[in-house]
């Protein structure tokens, strides 16, 4: 494949990744009509794991991971997948899907304090970006209208922000890890870890949880998120990061929370409010500042 054609394909993959991940948030909301949050998360992980195994087998890349990669497989499977899936589902249950997508996608903002605690040098622009993003979160919460007595709404915000935090912890480990294989090769094993853990959590935390297989919403969500937007979009994302400059792919992925808002408006009829527009703009601007600040060689 020529360089020009490869770059064109990478851009198409980036666009597909943004669309697939962005649509996942309204599909999550739809899926929750037919199941409880953690049970739906466990079912999603199960379908995604099976799909990932089939995908890697079709690519001729399915193999037992190198033992040095197991620590990061466990951390990604436990934090980025298990915790994120469960917390995202719990959060989106109580908030609009578009707003949920923005709050959960604050991973890059969490990376700033985590990097500092890990002993890395954090620049002033990174701090400014994190503060700008934090201001956006406050605007998104719309304090003047926020009902602090509504525990369900308060906890939904906490769940989504914690989801972004757990993803950031896994990301910090991933970028410090010296891979023997590749992130794509580890995907089915990470999904398998998440599947086992999520079913355990589902039984313990939601003993009366359920899935309703007779409802189309369940299958629509599982097929889309578990088969298409999960493993397939992850495959495309991995390809993009290898074909395009890191800064390009990182900034491009900021389109995911924006599309989560637009798709939620179109598919679910969610309203566009001033706090949503301004808060989202501030969060995305803050993440862009952090990404740009850290696009060069990492200092420690």
Radius of gyration of the chain (CA): 19
Q: Is residue 298 domain-resident?
A: no
Q: Is residue 300 domain-resident?
A: no
DSSP state of 36: -
Q: Is residue 180 domain-resident?
A: yes
How many domains in the chain?
1
Which domain, by its residues, includes 276? 3-293
For 209-239, write each residue's pLDDT tens digit: 999 999 999 999 999 999 988 887 777 776 6
Neighbour count for residue 62 (Cβ, 10 Å): 15
pTM, rounded to two decimals: 0.88
pLDDT score, position 93: 92
Q: Is residue 96 domain-resident?
A: yes
39 Cβ contact list (under 8 Å, min separation 6): 202, 206, 209, 210, 211
Burial of residue 205 (number of CB atoms within 10 Å: 0-12, 13-18, 19+): middle
Q: Is residue 299 domain-resident?
A: no
For 48-84, write each residue's pLDDT tens digit: 999 999 989 998 999 999 999 999 999 999 998 999 9
Give the rounded percent of residues in the chain with a pLDDT score beyond 90.
Answer: 51
Helix, strand, or coil here: 35?
A: strand
CA–CA separation, 263 and 104 (whole Å): 16
User: pLDDT grade, residue 32 (50/70/90)?
Assistant: very high
pLDDT score, position 296: 56
Taking each helix axis as running N to C, give the angle between helix 233-243 and helix 3-31, from 0 to 180 degrees, rounded to the nearest 10: 150
């Amino acid at each position: 494949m020529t360089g020009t054609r490869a770059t064109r394909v990478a851009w198409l993959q980036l666009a597909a990744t943004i669309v697939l991940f962005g649509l996942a948030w309204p599909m999550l909301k739809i899926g929750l009509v037919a199941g409880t949050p953690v049970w739906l998360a466990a079912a999603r992980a199960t379908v995604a794991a099976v799909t990932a195994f089939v995908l890697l087998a079709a690519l001729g890349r399915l193999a037992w991971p190198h033992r040095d990669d197991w620590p990061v497989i466990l951390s990604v499977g436990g934090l980025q997948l298990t915790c994120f899936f469960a917390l995202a589902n719990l959060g989106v249950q109580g908030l609009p899907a578009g707003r949920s997508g923005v709050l959960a996608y604050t991973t890059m903002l969490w990376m700033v304090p985590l990097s500092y605690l890990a002993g890395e040098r954090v620049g002033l622009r990174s701090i400014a970006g994190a503060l700008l993003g934090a201001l956006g979160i406050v605007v998104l919460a719309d304090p003047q209208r926020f009902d602090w007595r509504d525990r369900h709404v308060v906890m939904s915000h906490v769940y989504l922000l914690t989801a972004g935090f757990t993803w950031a912890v896994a990301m910090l480990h991933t970028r410090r890890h010296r891979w023997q294989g590749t992130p794509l090769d580890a995907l089915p094993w990470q999904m398998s870890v998440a599947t086992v853990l999520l079913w355990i959590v589902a039984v313990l935390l939601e003993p009366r949880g359920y899935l309703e297989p007779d409802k189309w919403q369940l299958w629509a969500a599982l097929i889309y998120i578990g088969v298409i937007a999960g493993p397939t979009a992850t495959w495309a994302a991995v390809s993009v990061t290898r074909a395009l400059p890191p800064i390009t792919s990182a900034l491009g992925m900021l389109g995911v929370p924006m599309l989560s808002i637009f798709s939620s408006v179109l598919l679910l009829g969610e309203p566009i409010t001033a706090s949503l527009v301004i808060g989202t703009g501030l969060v995305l601007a803050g993440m862009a500042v952090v990404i740009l600040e850290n696009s060069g060689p990492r200092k420690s």
